[in-house]
Amino acid sequence: MRTDSSPGTLPAREHLPAGDAGTPVLDVVIPVYNEEKDLQPCVLRLHEHLKRTFPYAFRITIADNASTDTTPLVAARLEAEIPEVTNFRLEQKGRGRALRTVWSASDAPILAYMDVDLSTDLNALLPLVAPLISGHSDLAIGSRLARSSRVVRGPKREFISRTYNLILRGSLQARFSDAQCGFKAIRRDVAQALLPLVEDTGWFFDTEMLVLAERAGLRIHEVPVDWVDDPDSTVHIVKTATDDLKGVWRVGKALATGALPLDRLTRPFGDDPRDRDVEDVPKGLARQLVGFCVIGGLSTLFYLLLYSGFRTFSGSQVANALALLVSAVANTAANRRLTFGVRGRGGAIRHQAQGLVVFGIGLALTSGSLAALNAASSDPAHSTELAVLIAANLAATVLRFLLFRAWVFSDRRDGLPSTVVASHTPEQGPSSPTYATAAYPQYRQQPYQPLPQRPVAPPNPYQNQTTRFRAGEVADRSWEDATMHLQPVRPTDTDPRD
């Protein structure tokens, strides 16, 4: 599995600005292998559709995967006749290899690909890339399994497709609906960071790219498509399915062992609301609750063992107080570090003191329960005492969690690991974010360097002002060639066929 680091954190999502007219906004790649009959009709139909309906400059790239027939000649002729068509020849087979090579070399900010048979209706192309142009999403895929999709194909392919996607959902927890549809798009800045992590060079390339993108928290947009199966498809179903299952096992193993540095794909501070440190909004409640319950269960067992040991040489009240005191200290220390993520010794004494107050409340509940039990029965059985103490501890546990969260560790954000920290002053503007990499020790010696800020237009053109760049946007100086003039929509160009 590839473990080389990606080029850096991704820039914040934004709408593509206007700029140089010569740079295409969209680069549509058509990977082909021995498609001498279908290539020319496909390119002509796609070019005519884009010329008539697509409002931006575009390019069509033919990626020839070591074809042995006359496909290279057809591709060269199309390149010579149509200005928007380019031809790229590879000497090795593999759809994933072709897409990685062409996408890595393209200067278009939006990269897409589609199968040469054009099974997917082209009217879905603009809805596919629009969320990427606007900056709303990072990747986009066509889905044949969406409820509003219209699909014509045989029961065999339908069964294989749905079974494969069920396998992805069950084994890799994938949430996208259709991994195999040959109709996808990605932003170039995202591709530059994501493609170095994708190992497959064949048909599993799409799935691996989507799984890694989803695990990294990138946004995947799905478009329902109209799709008609090509009965003359040359795809070897059995071999493709076998290779896909091997890929699922490889990717699942890499994700389970933490071999992929997906933290390098984290969005900069301020782009994703989930990364923002908003006051008075509780965070991580589900994770904290699970951790607190696990520690609470272990603490209860520890408390019961201590109580049983102290009970052999003391009364019930003394044994209960001693067991609660020892277990409370251990419980506070464990919750401080594991549940609420507080590191270091700062505030440890204060937290333990507040924990002892919470312990006092728990002692009052459990002692009151024992007093009530002794008042009801002069000589209760040991098992009865344990049952009463368990019930009282459950009530005390709920109260303890609420007090820990709202009072004892209310300042827990100051010590949380793996969080994004950014501060600024009105004079300085936003500072560059700092990313913790505790989950990947091999990157601890590679701190993220602060980046300059995004250019800001001066209010007075005659004033000299310092140029600023937003953090994460100029890691590879891609801002210099990521702007282009957008061709206006021609409202008179309509065709009832589309």
Cα 212 to Cα 233: distance, rounded to the nearest angstrom: 28
**Environment class of 131 (CB within 10 Å of its CB; exposed 0-12, middle 13-18, buried 19+):** buried
Q: How many residues does the chain have?
A: 498
Exposure string over 51-81, b if 16+ CB within 10 A, otherwise e = eebbbbbbbbbbbbbbbeeebbebbeebbee
Q: Locate 118 and state its tokens.
A: 């054009």
Q: Locate 248 and state its tokens.
A: 């699922």
Cα 292 to chain center, whole Å? 26
Token look-up 């589609």 returns 114
8 A C-beta contact, residue 65 and residue 98: yes
Q: Is the dihedral of CA 10, 11, 16, 19 positive or negative?
A: negative
By three-state DSSP, how is residue 114 classified? strand
Token look-up 């002069």 returns 378
Q: Locate 341 and state its tokens.
A: 């993520």
232: left (phi over 0), alpha (psi -120 to 50) or beta: alpha
8 A C-beta contact, residue 27 and residue 111: yes
By three-state DSSP, how is residue 90 classified? strand
Q: pTM for the complete prediction? A: 0.55
pLDDT tens by residue, the chain, 498 residues? 444 444 455 666 677 765 455 689 999 999 999 999 999 999 999 999 999 999 889 999 999 988 999 999 999 999 999 999 999 999 888 889 999 999 999 999 999 999 998 889 999 999 999 999 988 899 999 998 888 889 888 787 788 878 887 888 778 878 888 888 889 999 999 999 889 889 888 888 989 999 988 888 889 999 999 988 876 665 666 677 777 788 888 888 887 777 777 665 665 544 555 555 545 544 567 778 788 888 878 888 888 888 888 888 888 888 888 887 888 888 888 888 888 878 777 788 888 888 888 878 877 887 888 888 888 887 788 788 888 878 887 787 778 788 887 788 775 444 443 333 333 444 444 433 333 333 333 333 444 444 344 344 444 444 444 334 343 343 444 444 444 444 444 444 444 454
Q: Locate 405 and state its tokens.
A: 């969260």
8 A C-beta contact, residue 189 and residue 207: no
Cα 416 to Cα 208: distance, rounded to the nearest angstrom: 31
8 A C-beta contact, residue 418 and residue 438: yes
